[in-house]
Amino acid sequence: MAELIRLTVGELLDKQVTRFGEREAVVYPEYDLKWTYREFRDQCNQVAKGFMKLGMNKGHHVSIWANNQPEWLLTQFATGKIGAVLITVNTNYRTKELEYLLSHSDTETLILMDGIDGTSYIDMLLEICPELTHSEPGHLHSARLPRLKNVILLGKQNHPGMFSWLDILEMGKEVLEEELEARSSLLEPDEVINMQYTSGTTGFPKGVMLSHYNIVNNARNIAECMKLTEKDRLCIPVPFFHCFGCVLGVLTCVSVGAAMVPLTKFDAGMVLKAVIQEKCTALHGVPTMFIAELNHPDFVQYDFHTLRTGIMAGSNCPIEVMRRVTEEMGIKELTIAYGQTESSPVITQTKTDDPVELRVTTVGKKHDAVEVKIVDIETGQILPPGVQGELCTRGYHVMKGYYKMPKETEQVIDQDGWLHTGDLAVLDENGYFRITGRLKDMIIRGGENIYPREIEEFIYQHPKVLDVQVVGVPDEYYGEIVAAVIRAKEGVHLTKEEILTYCQGQISRHKIPSEIYFVKEYPMTASGKIQKYKISEMILQKKQQNK
């Protein structure tokens, strides 16, 4: 068991430097960049001092809008050392979403890259803050974002109204190490250090407030389940702006002194090369990432003998994918993690020695030092093993709340401190949890409750199916009907009739999809999560077009 500790993010890094100072901490194959733990800490300190010179005080709100750049890592720990609150910005955000986040979060400093995939972040920011073009760096007066004062542009280029990253490094030379140490000594583990905005699939996104204590201890428990040590090297292709990247990836490595091997963005070919080149022992990803890697044309050319563990999370894993990951990629100790941003994020996780069947059908047992219960949706009464209800959790890992949203916070954290996840689950007699769906995803067809996960798990087993998502669509007679959106395996021909025949007599009639669609890909978030609400919108559009 990884016992709970009271350390700030900065103290955690400093502690590992004393133990593993000369071991590699950060390796970027794309940039041929390698830092030992001591070098990484020194770089973080330099940035932290630059931030102090800029005027960042304890509690200062800093947003970062960039992919997995080295500067992102430095910012994560630099803010952790000075007590500034790091707000992570989704790389997929566009103008309206960006304005909402910067305004709602009271961002005082924005760090951004110039753009991504042909999209200019600078142009979007200038649309919101045209005043930047005639402002002195550090003296922005924005009509729409009155709290925003500093904009820092990553890279070496200069832009009117913005500091460059090099400016920050230079400013750091004017602050003494003793001043940084004095600032760090004022920090408390229970203070908010990280704010992540939920995806906002319904309503406005909410800023989840997480403390040092939340995420440091969650990272240590994650590492414990993976049996991760200082000898491991973890490839991180998942985005830093998401908990999967900055907690399950970065902090989990630092919690044990392991090496991080990040990629700036996900590319299946680059992941395979990085794993081989850097002799990675661990690999993270959502199921769609692993599917892309397994189906990469160069996959058979690689030898993955160094891989041992990692985490698959984000959505349920088809058994065929898990089998190939364990057998063909050699990740025999791959773990499955379940949680949400509001729980820092991991609540339950499988162990390295759990059989494959449990890693496919369950999300493991609860982490140490956390409580989990399954309750009746209507009465709130605790349910016995084998009965489906809502999963609730309590403990060190529960967020401090939603920023400036007390009512929304009260809706998910009850008076006894239990976080209501909104996820439907079943607990078995051995303590393993199975997630059966989302309360909001439940389909009600003619009064029958249908849980998409159950149907997905069945259709996944069809030999021609690569992936499947099940959603409910409005129907005049039944209220809702079941629709299946399927990705067929490469090079095979799959028809609706084959799927219907496959379901006939195997699952209840009311669960058999009334509508079946075939697609090449699903709409996804930047973190690789499939957006079911967009799938539903796509179906509705098709139905309207066919009328």
Indicate whether 89 pLDDT > 80: yes
Token digits for 255? 């919690």
Q: Where are the chain's structural domains? A: 37-207, 443-545
C-alpha count within 13 angstroms, C-beta hemisphere, residue 494: 25
What is d(CA 196, CA 243) in angstroms, rounded to the nearest whole number?
8
Give the Cβ contact number of residue 188 at 10 Å. Answer: 12
Mean pLDDT of 212-240: 98
User: What is the chain's alpha carbon radius of gyration, rounded to the nearest angstrom?
Assistant: 24
Picking from 83-87, 219-223, 519-523, which range would have the lowest pLDDT averaged per residue?
519-523
545 pLDDT above the threshold of 90: no
**Mean pLDDT over residues 285-303, rounded?**
93
Are 12 and 18 spatial neighbours (Cβ–Cβ below 8 Å)?
no
pLDDT reading at 542 higher than 90 = no
Q: Provide the residue type at 245 as one letter.
A: G
Distance from chain centroid for Cα 187: 26
Has residue 547 got a pLDDT over 80?
Answer: no
Check if the beta carbon of residue 331 is closer than 8 Å to that of residue 310.
yes
Average pLDDT, the chain: 93
Which among 195, 278, 194 is positioned nearest to 237, based on CA atoms? 278
Cβ contact 257:19 at 8 Å: yes
Average pLDDT for 275-303: 94
Average pLDDT (4-12) is 98
CA angle 275, 278, 279 (to 5 degrees): 70
Q: Which region among 179-183, 199-203, 430-434 has the lowest average model confidence (pLDDT)? A: 199-203
pLDDT at 138 over 80: yes
Beta strands in 97-140 (DSSP E): 109-112, 115-116, 119-120
Task: Give, in order, the Cα–Cα distances in Å from 84 to each of 183, 191, 192, 399, 402.
Answer: 11, 10, 9, 17, 17
Q: Half-sphere exposure of 373 toward its Cβ, with a 13 Å CA cutoff?
A: 14
For residue 201, the model assigns a pLDDT of 42
* Mean pLDDT to the nearest integer, 192-206: 78
* CATH T-level topology, domain 443-545: GMP Synthetase; Chain A, domain 3 (3.30.300)
Contact 282, 228 (CB under 8 A): yes
N- to C-terminal Cα distance for the chain?
59
pLDDT score, position 199: 62
Bigger pLDDT: 94 or 237?
A: 237
Residue 246, pLDDT above cutoff 80: yes
Six-digit token string for 166: 């090099």
Residues 445, 470: Cα–Cα separation, whole Å: 13
For residue 58, what pLDDT band results from cuts at 50, 70 and 90?
Answer: very high
Indicate the DSSP class of residue 442: -
Mean per-residue pLDDT, 151-157: 89
150 has a pLDDT exceeding 60 = yes
Facing residues of 164 across strands? 153
Q: Which residue, among 255, 260, 251, has the nearest Cα to 282 in the 3D structure?
A: 260
Greatest Cα-to-Cα distance within the chain, rounded to the nearest angstrom: 74
Region label for 402, one of left (φ > 0), alpha (ψ between -120 and 50) or beta (otherwise): beta
- Across 378-399, b (16+ Cβ under 10 Å) vs e yields eeeeebeeeebbbbbbbbbbbb
Its CATH architecture, for the domain 37-207, is 3-Layer(aba) Sandwich (3.40)
Identify residue 429 by its one-letter amino acid code.
Answer: E
The Cα–Cα gap between 319 and 296 comes to 19
Q: Which of 27-43 are b and which e, b meaning 16 or more Cβ less than 10 Å from the residue's Cβ? A: bbbbeeeebbbbbbbeb
pTM: 0.86
Q: Are strands 515-518 and 479-488 parallel, antiparallel or unpaired?
A: parallel
Residue 49 burial (C-beta neighbours within 10 Å; 0-12, 13-18, 19+): buried
Name the pairing type of β-strands 61-65 and 33-36: unpaired
Please state the separation of Cα 320 from the chain's center in Å: 24
**Cα–Cα dist 142/128, whole Å:** 8
> Cα–Cα distance between 481 and 439 in angstroms, integer?
17
Asked if pLDDT for residue 202 goes beyond 70, the answer is no
